[in-house]
Amino acid sequence: MSAPIVFSNARMVLADEVVLGALSVANGRIEALGSGATASGTFDLEGDYLFPGLVEVHTDNLERHLMPRPKVQWAEMPALLAHDAEVAAAGITTVFDALGVGEADPESLRGSTWDTLLDVLDGCIESDLLRADHHLHVRCELPAPNTIELFEPFRRHPRLSMISLMDHTPGQRQWENIEVARIYYTGKKGWSDDKFDRRVCEAVSLQTRYAEPHRRHFVEHCRVHGIALASHDDTTVAHVEQAHAEGASMSEFPTTLAAARAARERGLANIMGGPNVVRGGSHSGNVAAAELARQGLLNILSSDYVPGSLMSAVMRLVDEGICTLPEAVAMVSRAPARAAGLHDRGSLEPGLRADLVQVRITTLADGARHPVVRGVWRQGRRVI
């Protein structure tokens, strides 16, 4: 039995309120909470906020480190360690590394195998080199011919905790506006206009041939193995109804208010991107995350492609009067943990994992408030 660790003079963000007090940790779990200022503790937070560790269910950040520029691949271990350090510094103590499978282009990450990365991940976990608790979220591109083949290394992996079903065929879902899709693929992926036009011509044929059989395959895999299932870029009520019938627990980035409302009515948790909140809208021209929050339809925030966006989005929702601080913090902690089936974390409650983040709010010259992460603990051990 290790001696308790006490966090004193902390503004603890609980489920329904913020309480000034102390929190004690023993053997990696929260032992007790008490209210009121205290004279001393192992860590005197000096009035800073104490958040539960953030739970990130969808981040492309590891892929970004593995391919920092189009066609430029980085070595797996330094990429993983840099990604891990970045997410931990953003207050994320549990991360679902989103890795895409299925792509006709062999030069893309999602068109190649993930075997080496998984070996590196296993080795780093075994050697206790990582700050955050890493899980795998496999994003399956349904119309791609090689999706099932590229999924094989994940099939029995113990860290596989979530699968999302994607269909990025231009002209529907996220890419209803094909010209917006063109900007994305030519800008981020470095495609020429000619390559984009060729791929658009091929896309419908691939979707017709592969999307539904691949969808059935992955839905059944999730059902048999108890893996959390998410739909992706739902645009219509029919999209949501299909996902609900298949057992999905989450709707990632619904593109319309109608789809988000249908998901909420059927018990699916709506996930939207932190960058969408911070930027004031979707880069694809779809529904704004803040609008869903105003309508009471936003359950979970994901950092998507900017790990630090979670903290910034929390403050933006609070400062705009859309959510209380406990409500906004729940979107990045308790709600994603519950949706992913992780019931041992996500809240400041006795008995749960002592995944904790010390946050100080600073006011910038323009009057905007910004959250600064000053300390991160995973299971009671300081990692930042």
On the question of pLDDT at 326 being above 60, the answer is: yes
* Per-residue model confidence (pLDDT) at position 207: 78
Which of 32-36, 191-195, 205-209, 243-247 shows the lowest per-residue confidence on average (mean pLDDT)?
191-195
Residues 258, 260, 263, 267, Cα dihedral to 10°: -130
On the question of pLDDT at 176 being above 70, the answer is: no
Residues 6+ apart with CB under 8 A from 136: 96, 97, 99, 154, 157, 159, 160, 161, 162
Confidence band of 230 (pLDDT split at 50, 70, 90): very high
Task: Pick the more confident residue, 197 or 72.
Answer: 72
| Over residues 96-121, mean pLDDT | 86
| Partners of residue 377 on adjacent β-strands | 356, 382
Confidence band of 108 (pLDDT split at 50, 70, 90): confident
On the question of pLDDT at 105 being above 90, the answer is: no
Write the pLDDT tens digit of every residue in 46-57.
999 999 999 999
* Per-residue model confidence (pLDDT) at position 149: 95
Confidence band of 109 (pLDDT split at 50, 70, 90): confident
Confidence band of 23 (pLDDT split at 50, 70, 90): very high
Helix, coil or strand: residue 130: coil
Mean pLDDT rounded to a whole number for the chain: 92
* Per-residue model confidence (pLDDT) at position 194: 75
Helix (H) or strand (E) holding 12: strand 5-13
Helix, coil or strand: residue 50: strand
- Contact between 355 and 332 under an 8 Å Cβ cutoff? The reply is no
Which of 85-94, 166-175, 277-286 shows the lowest per-residue confidence on average (mean pLDDT)?
166-175
Task: Pick the more confident residue, 192 or 137.
Answer: 137
Burial class (CB in 10 A: 0-12, 13-18, 19+), 200: middle
* Per-residue model confidence (pLDDT) at position 40: 76
Q: Residues of 157-190 as b/e, b for ≥16 C-beta within 10 angstroms? A: eebbbbbbbbbbbbebbbbbeeebbbebbeeeee
Domain spans of the chain?
52-337
Q: What is the pTM of this model?
A: 0.90
* Per-residue model confidence (pLDDT) at position 177: 65
Q: Which two tokens stand for residue 376?
A: 């991160």
On the question of pLDDT at 189 being above 70, the answer is: no
- Residues 35 and 22: their CA atoms lie apart, in Å, by 6
The residue whose two tokens read 């992996």 is 157
The residue whose two tokens read 């593109």 is 255
- Contact between 170 and 206 under an 8 Å Cβ cutoff? The reply is no
Confidence band of 208 (pLDDT split at 50, 70, 90): confident
* Per-residue model confidence (pLDDT) at position 178: 66
* Per-residue model confidence (pLDDT) at position 106: 59
CATH architecture group of domain 52-337: Alpha-Beta Barrel (3.20)
Which of 17-21, 280-284, 331-335, 361-365 shows the lowest per-residue confidence on average (mean pLDDT)?
280-284
On the question of pLDDT at 270 being above 90, the answer is: yes
